[in-house]
Amino acid sequence: MEELLNSYQELKGCIDETVVLFYQQNINDGFKKMDILLLHIEKVTDLLYQKENIKENINTILDRVMLAMQEMDTIVLADTLKYELVSYYEKMLELN
């Protein structure tokens, strides 16, 4: 559980940094940070799935993230990361 909580804190920090970059319209640095953020998302999701049989589906949120990236809509991307993704992980951590 400690590894999961530490990994989530790293993910949350990375989301916060990425969101600030996108809100400031610092697009290039924001997308560079997204590469790191995606690795954190993968790690936390894997750890959650190892802990319990999670019924909640993160794919819908990740689809919105990817669509916003493809459309270069950094405001929607930042909002999805900040509000939907963080909310999802916090809910999953409460279940553990």
Question: What is the full per-residue pLDDT of the chain (96 aa) written as tens digits?
Answer: 789 899 999 999 999 999 999 999 999 999 999 999 999 999 998 888 776 555 457 888 999 999 999 999 999 999 999 999 999 888 888 866
Q: What is the pTM of this model?
A: 0.82
CA–CA distance, 67 with 46 (Å, rounded to integer): 22
CA–CA distance, 40 with 26 (Å, rounded to integer): 21
* In the block, residue with structure tokens 């690795």: 39
